[in-house]
Amino acid sequence: MFHVPVLSAPLYALVAFGLFAIALGVFSIAQRDYLKYRTLPWPTVLLLLALFVVVCPVMGYLGGLAPWPRPKEPLVLYWIGTIVGALGILAFLVAWLNLGLKRTFCRQIDAVVQSGMYRFSRNPQLLFGILAFSGIGLASLSWNGLIFAVQFAAVGHAMVLFEEEHLRHALGATYVAYCKKTPRYFGIRSFRNH
């Protein structure tokens, strides 16, 4: 059976910081491609997909969080984290379906989606992803779980900043009006405007 060693919290934090730096590089490439092609070419889409589909599970395994944390005492925290994590994953998937796969990877930029969860937040996928990983972190009762949630939030927020610039450029006044009436994150007024 394949065994992945769990990294210590300081080493795990170092790896998380390195992956954050890589993510900034990937978002820089995506931003360049947005401006150059007005869409993302498939190699860039695959790079972004790899960032989230490969890096998140790898970080989970390295932190001892995957496939799901094993129950630990106090069990009440484990179960609260499990419920929060599961609800976060479910809501993330609903937000993703609400936006659509092509729009998620900026392959289709024809209108601002303002229905469903996007009436209340410009970035519900990110918020529910953070909620999911926070729940997983709580269930694991480990520093690595907290580091993982913070790393995901930092990478996601960096991605949001890059995407917003492109959407303002691509959709113009329609997107700016949407930004003025819809907070970046649910109910967080300090992040309301761009």
Domain ranges within the chain, ordered by starting residue = 9-191
pLDDT score recorded for residue 1 = 43
Measuring CA to CA, how many Å separate 109 from each of 64, 91, 103, 162, 172?
Answer: 38, 23, 6, 15, 11
- Residue 180: name the closest of 122, 128, 104, 126 by CA: 122
With a cut of 90, say whether residue 152 has pLDDT above it. Answer: no
Q: In this structure, what token pair is assigned to residue 119?
A: 């009436």
**What does the pLDDT look like over 30-80, one tens digit per residue?**
888 877 887 788 898 888 888 877 777 777 777 777 667 778 888 999 999
Phi, psi at 156, each rounded to 5°: -65, -40
Q: Which of 68-72, 86-90, 190-194 has the highest mean pLDDT?
A: 86-90
- Read off the pLDDT of each residue in 159-171 and give the average, rounded to a whole number: 84
Q: In this structure, what token pair is assigned to residue 162?
A: 């890059």
Measuring CA to CA, how many Å separate 33 from each of 30, 36, 45, 51, 174?
Answer: 5, 5, 10, 16, 22
- Residue 122: name the closest of 176, 81, 69 by CA: 176
Measuring CA to CA, how many Å separate 128 from each of 5, 53, 144, 185, 188?
Answer: 28, 16, 19, 10, 14
**Class of the domain covering 9-191:** mainly alpha
With a cut of 50, say whether residue 2 has pLDDT above it. Answer: no
With a cut of 60, say whether residue 194 has pLDDT above it. Answer: no
In whole angstroms, what is the distance from residue 119 CA to residue 126 CA? 15
- Residue 151: name the closest of 3, 1, 10, 20 by CA: 20
- Read off the pLDDT of each residue in 12-35 and give the average, rounded to a whole number: 86
pLDDT score recorded for residue 5 = 64
pLDDT score recorded for residue 88 = 94
pLDDT bin (cut points 50, 70, 90) of residue 189 is low
Asked if residue 88 lies in contact with residue 129, where contact means CB atoms within 8 angstroms, the answer is yes
**What does the pLDDT look like over 89-141, one tens digit per residue?**
999 999 988 887 667 666 667 788 888 899 999 999 999 989 998 998 888 88
